[in-house]
Structure 1
Amino acid sequence: MKTNIKIIGLLAATSLSVLTSPVFAKEMTLGLSVDQLFESRVGVTDAIKAEAERQGYKVIEVVADGDAQAQNSQIQSLVTQKVDAILVCAVDQNTIERALIGAKRTGIPIVAFDRALPNSRAVDAFVGPDSITDGYLAGEYTANQFKDSAEEVVILELLGALNDQNGIDRSKGFNDAINKLENVKVVAMPTDWDSARALSATQNAFQANPNIKAVFAATDTHIPSVETVLNDLNKMVPAGSDGHVVVTGVNGSNDGYQATVSGSADGIVVMDLETTGITTVKVATALLNGEQVEVNNVIPGNFYTTDNIAANKANIWGAK
């Protein structure tokens, strides 16, 4: 599948010397505005801070704990503290847009990371996962499992948050791939990234559609909820065996890794958190130097199956 603009576009737009050896007249300070801390977000922010340290930057980190109003105030505080650039993963774009515009008016470059803000008038660039491709990889695998089926294939899709671009794009990619099947029916259930909602959604979906053949989880942290339901229904059959329900997801958490190793899940798409963090700082560096950068810098994940995930454990961020 043809993906969006990738990290290679950044390298073409910005000299390698700028990316690796910035020279500034004073110590530069990056304002790091984080929506909330959970496993994958910590992985990205750790990579950002490590790269910032390598570049000789100071970092002021603020965490909103999922409170959009708090993040709005925190961004205003970063502006008051005269940070040189702001790296932001938004709780909610609409709530923080005013603060971002205020930062933009003072000349502060703004890089959105991990969660795109496509309608923002303030963001200079985005760095994050290629969520459309990530969803497509899971959908492509699922479609291949049923390409010769003459029966209707009912698939449960556990959606992420409907106001999160990553969730929206993962769903788009998955459906783009799965719609190649002529006899597919997708049952989409929202979860808002909540595992309890994923559990109840899975229970309700199987009650209404007992012949569900596959499940796609927008985040693989919801796969344990799927396993619980399959066990309760005596449908927990390992991958490769008759009666197996095909399960895929996106993320790279330890939950997804363990489920794939055991064969209760067929495979997961693993996000490259380290490259995302490093690239975010490099884009900020280029902007601080007045260089032009690609607006969208996306990094596709890698799909690992039960057959090869253990051999690639070193590449699974959640399994480290």
Structure 2
Amino acid sequence: MKRKMMGVLLAAAMAASLLSGCGSKQEETKEAAKTEENAAKEADGEDTKAEEPKTEEEKKAAGEELTIAIVPWNMAMSFESSFAYTAQAEIESRGWKAVIMDPAGDWASEYTIIENLVTQGVDGIIYTAIDTDGANDAVAIAREAGIPIVDFDCLASDGTADASVCYDDYQGGIMAAEQCMEALDGKKDAQIIVFEDEPSIASSGLRINGFKDYLAENYPDVEVVMNRASDRTSDGCYIWATDMITAYPDADAFFCYWAECTMAAYNALQDAGKTDVYVIGYDATEEQKELMVNTGEDCRLYASPGMSSVKMAVKCVEFMEQILNGEYTRSGPEDIFEFKPELLTVHNAKEFDIDK
């Protein structure tokens, strides 16, 4: 009896083993068939993987959110930080994700940031060109990857970004020169210290050229002293202005084409006791406005053409949305959205609002 029972158990075990082996063979056969099927599809040019949603509508349908990167010049600059945070709010109000990447004024860092953003597959990039010519390469890698890229303020020189937004910087330079000569009562032999433009920064060249061209045409005997420092921080500009005060003690005015340099030059003049020297600044910041209001119309920071970081940021995000929706295609390098500079002066400071 025991022998019979053992035989039955042994037979059952063998059957189970055979069934198990048969199941494995069947699974292997199925996997082989799938592999052969996929190989055949690939040979016919068919994609065997599910495609990722690429358009905004497809991403929404798939429950995914768009990611838009903001790459300003330097978040330590008041204009740039204001732009970045305004753009972030505009992006998030659309239900998208915003990321701010700060190259801290370094072109190599900015290029690497944009390169990494492209690799990560963000859905759009809004940036300003630290190096006007070098930025062409950054634009190219974004466009090759099919990622919309919008530049603002300082633009890539080839004009190949998907959209461009800036202010008329040349006109801003003319406005600065007009205000400078108004402050100096048209002094024909005035000496004016100008922070020299940098070749890689397109906006600086336009502002300085507008300033110099106006003087050359209307006040040809005015002496313009061009000089610049390699350190463009507030501290660096303060040291630069102090050196200029020492080298040119009879200077009548300073023209500084961005906010931090403007305040640094003003403070250096005040600290040196040069309270009769005028400063013409740029960017028309809240800090400059408050100084004018608190000091009154005798303030030596006489005028400051400026740009609204808010208006510019809103326009950049609007362009990004239109591009993603297929509603805007740039017609060429000359297709640039350009604002006209606003003018802050000691006379209108109390009611001045650059964002209106």
TM-score for both structures, normalised by structure 1:
0.78
CA distance in 2, matches of 1:203, 1:35: 26
| Secondary structure, counterpart of 1:36 in structure 2 | coil
Q: Aligned-pair distance for 1:93?
A: 4.7
- Equivalent position SS for 1:51: helix
1:71-93 CA deviation, whole Å, 9 max, x = no partner?
Answer: 32322222233222221223335
SS at match of 1:268: strand
Partner deviation per Cα, 1:44-73 (whole Å, 9 max, x = no partner): 112212222233322233222334333323
Residues 87 and 306 (structure 1 numbering): CA distance in 2 closer, same or farther, change over 3 Å? same
Report the equivalent of 1:189: 227
Aligned to 1:114: 153
Corresponding residue of 2:83: 44
**In the superposition, relative to structure 1, how do residues 288 and 216 fare at CA in structure 2: closer, same or farther (>3 Å)?**
same
Query: Does 1:288 pair with 2:324?
Result: yes
Matching of residue 303 in structure 1 with residue 343 in structure 2: yes
Match of 2:288 among 250, 256, 273: 256
| CA shift digits 1:83-126 (9 cap, x unpaired) | 22221223335555444322211222211122211136x42222
Letter in 2 for 1:252: A
d(CA) in 2 for partners of 1:29 and 1:233? Answer: 49
Q: Distance in 2 between matches of 1:98 and 1:152?
A: 45
Amino acid at match of 2:215: I
Question: Which letter does structure 2 place at the counterpart of 1:212?
Answer: A
- Residue 252 of structure 2 is matched in structure 1 by 213
| Normalised TM-score (structure 2) | 0.71
Please give the secondary structure, in 1, of the residue aligned with 2:126: strand
Tell me whether 1:24 sits opposite 2:64 in the alignment. no
Q: How does 1:1-320 map to 2 (within 5 A)?
A: 24-27=57-60, 28-38=66-76, 39-93=78-132, 97-119=136-158, 122-146=160-184, 148-149=186-187, 151-159=188-196, 161-179=198-216, 180-192=218-230, 193-236=232-275, 244-261=276-293, 262=295, 263-290=299-326, 291-293=328-330, 295-312=335-352, 315=353
Contact 1:272 1:300 in 2 (8 A): no
> In the alignment, residue 25 of structure 1 is paired with which amino acid?
E
Amino acid paired to 2:236: R
Identity of aligned residues (%): 22
Equivalent residue of 2:317, what SS? Answer: helix
- What SS is found at the alignment partner of 2:274? coil
RMSD: 2.7
Kept in 2: contact 1:220–1:255 (CA 8 A): no
- 2:144 is matched by which residue type in structure 1? R
Q: Could you tell me whether the CA contact under 8 Å between 1:155 and 1:187 is conserved in 2?
A: yes
- The structure number with the bigger radius of gyration is 2
1:26 is displaced (CA, Å) by 2.3
Give, in whole Å, the separation in 1 of the partners of 2:214 and 2:322.
36
- Cα deviation, residue 249, structure 1: 0.6
In structure 2, C-alpha distance between the alignment counterparts of 1:232 and 1:101, rounded to whole Å: 47
* Matched residue SS, 2:351: helix
Q: Which residue of 2 aligns with 1:15?
A: none
Q: Cα gap change, 1:85/1:23 in structure 2, threshold over 3 Å: closer, same or farther?
A: closer
Q: Distance in 2 between matches of 1:230 and 1:32?
A: 36
**Structure 1 residue 202 displacement after superposition:** 2.5
Partners of 2:154 and 2:203 within 8 A in 1: yes
If asked which structure has higher relative contact order (CA below 8 Å, sep 6+), I would say: 1
- Gapped runs of 5+ residues in structure 2? 1-54, 61-65
Give the Cα separation in 2 of the matches to 1:232 and 1:53.
44
Taking the aligned partners of 1:94 and 1:118, their CA distance within structure 2 comes to: 5
Deviates more, 1:25-34 or 1:270-279: 25-34
d(CA) in 1 for partners of 2:330 and 2:135? 23
Task: Quickly say closer, same or farther: Cα 1:48–1:187, change in 2 above 3 A.
Answer: same
CA distance in 2, matches of 1:230, 1:93: 32
Check whether the contact 2:88–2:99 (CA below 8 A) recurs between aligned residues: no
Whether the aligned pair in 1 keeps the contact of 2:262 and 2:282 (CA below 8 Å) is no
Offset of 1:250 from its aligned partner? Answer: 0.4
CA contact (8 A) 1:221 1:255 kept: no
